[in-house]
Structure 1
Amino acid sequence: MPHYELLYLISNKFSETEVKPIMDKVNSLIISNQGKIAQSLGLGKKRLAYAIKGFRFGYYNLVEFDLPGAHLAKVDHALRMMSEILRQQIVLKPLKTEEQAKQDKEIALKIAARKLEEQKLVKEKVSTGSITPSGQSSQPGAKQTDKDKVDLKDLDEKLDKILETDNLL
């Protein structure tokens, strides 16, 4: 049986508590078509790059499942007809072998170890005084980028407000 990955986007008109029943509905649709769900993740609410059906935000969800190829078209059509889902995409995903899973775990452990080392280095620099707790260097020639970041955030918010208005002229 082929292994698939479904990424779908639920509209923002639903609250966090209303998203869970929609996810269950999608999962039951897959199961009712002789599918087996391997993993189901709610990736949370995120801002969209552009408005889809008038919505600027949406809830991303990821489902990995096994499904007979003959039933894929039924599931795809049913997902397209659901009014709660803004966008969806199903792709064929190769199954990971045990060896690949072990390699992924090793890589994740190495990344976590590096992050811990970086945090320790930052703490040491803060304690020695080469970096202040706010993240700025104590050297006189250091640039202040915090103010620039705040200005960019304010600018983004103002641009969003302008783009959300109906009359741009």
Structure 2
Amino acid sequence: MTKKYELLLVLPGTLDEKEAAKQIQEIKESLTSQAQDIELNNLGKVRLAYPIKQIRYGYYYTVIFNAEPEVVINISNKLKLRSDILRSMITLFNTNVTATKKIMYSTNEVGVTTMMEREEGASPSPKSAPVSKPVAEETKVDLKDIDEKLNAILENENIIPGV
């Protein structure tokens, strides 16, 4: 029974784009003889998290294909023998993980923002303004009233200076 697999390849960044394209075409041709429905995706040149064989950049490619589990082991062994590939990894293709998901954010009355997965058919809900606590109406204080209160406090004899 054939299953859908995803192959992640990292080619050295020391190659130029034409050489990398030539290498990936050779790999794709070798896969064609053993797998069906081959789909190639170029993810571009990316800086590696750590150097591999003193190389800091790599060309990333994903290849999605259908094959028998026994054939996948054979493909994996052949890829390990190639010295022009920095890394390769074959995994079962998971459409739930690889599909781009729509994400929706919502903020509750406390101010905590949560992230949720939006359903395909659902349209984004209209964003409501954050709920704030009602503020008591501020009374305007006259400057003359403030001066009178300060003078009354300063004239009070119960004030201990320096404390």
TM-score, scaled relative to structure 1: 0.55
| 1:35-50 equivalences in 2 (<5 Å) | 35-50=35-50
2:154 — aligned with what? Answer: none
2:92 — aligned with what? Answer: 92
Larger radius of gyration: 2
Q: Secondary structure at 1:85's aligned position in 2?
A: coil
Equivalent-residue separation in structure 2 for 1:53 and 1:106 (angstroms): 36
Contact 1:9 1:61 in 2 (8 A): yes
| 85 and 105 in structure 1: CA distance in 2 versus 1, 3 angstrom threshold | closer
Please identify runs of 4+ aligned residues in structure 1 that moved more than 3 A: 104-108
Equivalent-residue separation in structure 2 for 1:49 and 1:94 (angstroms): 24
Corresponding letter in the other structure for 2:32? I
1:20 — aligned with what? Answer: 21
- The structural deviation recorded for 1:22 is 0.9
Unmatched tracts of structure 1, length 5 or more: 115-169
2:57 — aligned with what? Answer: 57
**How large is the RMSD of aligned CA atoms in angstroms?**
2.7
- The structural deviation recorded for 1:25 is 1.2
Unmatched tracts of structure 2, length 5 or more: 104-117, 125-163
Equivalent-residue separation in structure 1 for 2:78 and 2:37 (angstroms): 17
Between 76-85 and 35-44, report the one with greater CA deviation: 35-44
Corresponding letter in the other structure for 1:66? N
Equivalent-residue separation in structure 1 for 2:40 and 2:77 (angstroms): 20
Q: Secondary structure at 1:83's aligned position in 2?
A: coil
Equivalent-residue separation in structure 2 for 1:21 and 1:77 (angstroms): 21
Contact 2:7 2:91 in 1 (8 A): yes
- The structural deviation recorded for 1:105 is 7.6
Structure richer in helix, relative to its length: 1
TM-score, scaled relative to structure 2: 0.57
| 45 and 3 in structure 1: CA distance in 2 versus 1, 3 angstrom threshold | same
Q: Secondary structure at 2:47's aligned position in 1?
A: strand
1:74 — aligned with what? Answer: 74
